[in-house]
Amino acid sequence: MLRILLLPSLWIVAAICMIVAYYHAPLDHTAQAPLLHGHHAPGMLWQWILISLGELIIMLTILRPWSYHRSWGRALSAALLLLPWTLLSLLWVMHAGPLFLIHFLWVLALLLISLFLLGGSLLRKNGR
> What is residue 36's predicted lDDT score, i.e. its pLDDT?
53
* pLDDT above 70 coverage of the chain, percent: 85
Residue 128 exposed, middle or buried by CB count within 10 Å (0-12, 13-18, 19+): exposed
Rounded Cα distance, 85 and 91, in Å? 10
At 27-85, the pLDDT tens digits run: 655 555 545 556 677 778 899 999 999 999 999 999 887 777 778 889 999 999 999 99
E strand spans, 5-57: none
Q: What is the pTM of this model?
A: 0.85
84 lies in which domain range?
2-126
Number of domains present in the structure of the chain: 1
Residues 6+ apart with CB under 8 A from 56: 7, 8, 11
Identify the band that residue 127 occupies on the pLDDT scale cut at 50, 70 and 90: low
Identify the band that residue 123 occupies on the pLDDT scale cut at 50, 70 and 90: confident
